[in-house]
């Protein structure tokens, strides 16, 4: 089993959005996947309750995470995705330690970029590979994204080579417990998620039982 953590001390960066979309991408690829919801707001768990289908989200805590991870591995899960809370150092550190790979969603604005160091330090303390993923990027200009990318590269903070853009389909499906992969499978949001998922899978060595049908649908 592989474990992926979505961590950012900044609120609203896109942790839950990316956790749910990556979980559905993994499910579409034929993997056994679940989400560990470490956030007391339980947004991922509420989404999964409305969804009433795989992938399932389970509410957990920093204290319970290792136990849950052990159970998930014993149960034959291929991938556990941890969605974590903002402004919570210890749970975020526990999530990083549990992970094979840490993704740090970040908006391409100076306020968000300035705040990224704290999260990156947690992943570094946990000695886990971590990558910033620029999320909700401006679709009308690449300027902010390129500037943000350069700023982090100058600080030697690794940045995912692709990007996720601001698109309504990322949030439109949440009320009925869906994602952009299902409400608009041929859309750009789905293609961006598919690209990110494939990149993550290669980074952590996930074996694919079948081709991802998000790309086939697109």
Ligand X SMILES: Nc1ncnc2c1ncn2[C@@H]1O[C@H](COP(=O)(O)OP(=O)(O)OP(=O)(O)O)[C@@H](O)[C@H]1O
Residues that bind ligand X (CB under 6 A): 8, 11-17, 39, 86, 135-136, 164, 166-167, 170-171
164 binds, among ligand X, Mg ion, none (CB under 5 to 8 A by kind): ligand X
Q: Tell me how far, at minimum, the Cβ of 91 lies from ligand X, in Å.
A: 12
Instruction: Please state the separation of Cα 97 from the chain's center in Å.
Output: 16
CA 177, 180, 184, 186 torsion-angle sign: negative
Are the beta carbons of 171 and 135 closer than 8 angstroms? Answer: no
Q: Which residues pair with 82 in a beta bridge?
A: 5, 36
195 binds, among ligand X, Mg ion, none (CB under 5 to 8 A by kind): none
Nearest residue to Mg ion, by Cβ distance, number only: 16
CB atoms within 10 A of CB 12: 14
By beta-carbon proximity to Mg ion, the closer residue of 8 and 169 is 8
Q: Tell me how far, at minimum, the Cβ of 87 lies from ligand X, in Å.
A: 8
The interface region with Mg ion, picked from 25-33, 38-46, 169-177, 191-199 by CB under 5 A, is: 38-46
Instruction: Give the dihedral of Cα atoms 139, 114, 160, 30; nearest 10 deg.
Output: -90
């Amino acid at each position: 089993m592989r474990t992926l953590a979505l961590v950012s001390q900044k609120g609203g960066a896109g942790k839950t959005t990316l956790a749910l979309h990556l979980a559905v991408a993994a499910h579409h690829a034929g993997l056994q996947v679940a989400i560990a919801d470490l956030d007391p707001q339980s947004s991922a768990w509420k989404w999964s309750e409305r969804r009433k289908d795989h992938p399932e989200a389970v509410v957990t805590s920093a204290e319970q995470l290792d136990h849950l991870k052990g159970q998930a591995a014993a149960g034959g899960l291929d991938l556990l995705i941890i969605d974590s809370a903002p402004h919570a150092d210890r749970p975020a550190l526990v999530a990083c330690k549990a992970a094979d790979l840490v993704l740090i969603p970040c908006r391409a604005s100076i306020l968000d970029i300035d705040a990224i160091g704290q999260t990156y330090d947690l992943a570094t303390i946990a000695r886990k590979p971590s990558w910033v993923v620029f999320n909700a990027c401006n679709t009308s200009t690449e300027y902010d994204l390129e500037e943000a990318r350069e700023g982090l590269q100058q600080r030697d903070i690794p940045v995912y080579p692709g990007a996720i853009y601001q698109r309504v389909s990322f949030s439109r499906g949440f009320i009925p417990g869906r994602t952009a992969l299902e409400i608009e499978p041929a859309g750009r949001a789905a293609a961006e998620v598919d690209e990110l998922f494939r990149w993550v899978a290669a980074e952590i060595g996930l074996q694919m039982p079948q081709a991802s049908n998000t790309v086939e649908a697109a």
